[in-house]
Structure 1
Amino acid sequence: MTETALATTIQAPTCAGSSDGSIAILPVAGVPPYRFAWNTGDSIAALVRRAAETYQVTVTDAKGCRAEKIIELEEPPLLRHQINAASRWCNGDVLGQIFLDATGGTPPYRYSLDAGTTLLSSPVAQPLGVGRYAVWLQDANGCVKTATIGIPEPTLPELLVLAPSLVVLGDSVLVELLDNAPSSLTYEWQPATGVACPNCPTTRVQPLRSTDYLITGTDSLGCQLLATWQVNVQQTEQLFLPSAFSPNSDGINDTFEPFAGKGIAAIESLLLFDRWGNLVFEGRQCLTAPQACVWDGRFKGVPQATGNYTYFATVTYLDGRQVVVKGSLLLVE
């Protein structure tokens, strides 16, 4: 007989280190009966419950013809896993996760957190609460690897607003949003009036009146952080008018005209009256047409007399308020 006259049936061990492999030898030539001699000392045709090893068998038939065969019984690589855990707060609840990375064994892999009662194909288990978990990894051959891992108490996330609490009407302020969320956030402002970039962590805001802003930061999982910013808007008098002028063409204080602060949206009109109540000057829309509200001390081209005059300016502020400002003006030579 020759080695090719020996048919072999091999069952490899199912797991690394297990002894459930088998080898069966079937002579297909020669004259029975056959005698078997293994390097393990066995004298049977089939070896069972065997570990990974190199086996050698010699088969002798009734005529003394011999055949030898070497069989390598191989086991799968050792089943291994790497486990990590993470946790985070999400809308008042803890979202815990366990991540598993399996190698070795015989893919595909299955995972379980209840000792194999429920097998999952996903290597990520979620959502889970804070605590310790027994992790079960099983490969296609039923080989099992277990470990214990804890899901920690997460850091409580916060959304902070860095901004002043007092703003003068017409001013804009820089607002910074700071957070310790585990992933990036998109932002929403309520109200969004006056917010230059509502979805930016840093933006300029121009509030028109005292406002309580609600800022919501949302991540890709829908987890939200809330913050409030209470800002008080100071309504200061922002119309500036000189108390005297001298229209004598000397280049100094030759005209009377209004000056508006940033909180003024429009100067609707500017009216001047002499001491007898006669209208001597009228200007409209002083911000959009500034030259229309510059008085050179003349009425119908005639220089007016030295003395006191009264002005009325109708002012509209950015917050919608409309105020009539009254004052006295001294015309001097």
Structure 2
Amino acid sequence: MSGSWEVHRNCCGLSGSWAVNRGCYGLGAAPALAKESCTLPEEAGLLGAQSILQSPCSESFRCLAPAAESASAALKLEPSNVKALFLRGSCRKGAEAIEDFAKAFSLEPTLQEAKLAWLQARRALRKDVDDTWTKGEVLAVLADVTRVQQSVQEAVSTVGQAHLKERLIRQLGLPKDPLKDYGLTTDSFHQLLGSFQDDFDVVQGVQRMMHPPGRGDRSRARRMSVQQIVQSHEAMVLVIQKMLKELRQMTPQELHLLDLQLLEATAELLSYLEVSNLDLHPEDVEEAISINELQLQNSPDFAKCSEDLANLMQELMDVTSSLQ
């Protein structure tokens, strides 16, 4: 359902011994990593292994080049090998390290070690000062934002199903807005994406962010009529109208006390509850829209609701832009 109102908006097996689990990296056959002097200690972890590899005082420092070559060889066979990307990034410096860590994180956004290493490499290269972003980094930011959005939506859905009031949204322990980690606002992030508007991979990443996988039941969605879809959108329009009315009545000081992410999550929760009051499953609405796409294209009521919702969301974004 969230896609309707958000108009704009450890499978890696990383724990354990690096020495024992090298085969998981696709590096087991690499002679450079088979030497005892190059063996990483037990339970080193990703960041621990990184610091060992990068330390000039370590015995393993002599193996940096062979380790990087072995990781590169593994990546030729499997370009999306997250562990090999992290290992090679740990052996590199500067822009090359940034690209490897960023790609590893974009492929596995739950891998916080890769994110920390990437941001650390950015600071070392002082890219946080000149504020330049490569395509690989943009894809990684997109993956992080998408991960957090999906986490928030799943939490909101859980609360909505339990019919809790919106004030309990604070008890969810929602993840913080990932854009803050990169020193980006919503506006600057949109501008950054605009500079990659002709790049296929970035456009695909934006599509994944704006249209996350549906959580609805297709069999129930098939039973949802066009009229019910329109009613669900009318309910969402009412929710945003009420929120905007309250926001406009607030003073600038009161607005700055609001948490932007909490406000967005509350809007989604209120929409969820409003649609639930229609005896509909909010998760099924997006699925029903795709099923009835042709009929909806010929529905003036749906067209009006969609236009109203888009305009209201833009107004809501204009109001909340002052909160960043």
* Shorter-chain TM-score tier: under 0.3
The structure carrying a bigger strand percent of its residues is 1
Q: What is the TM-score when the length of structure 1 is the normalising length?
A: 0.17
Q: What is the TM-score when the length of structure 2 is the normalising length?
A: 0.18
Higher RCO (C-alpha under 8 Å, 6+ residues apart): 2
Larger radius of gyration: 1
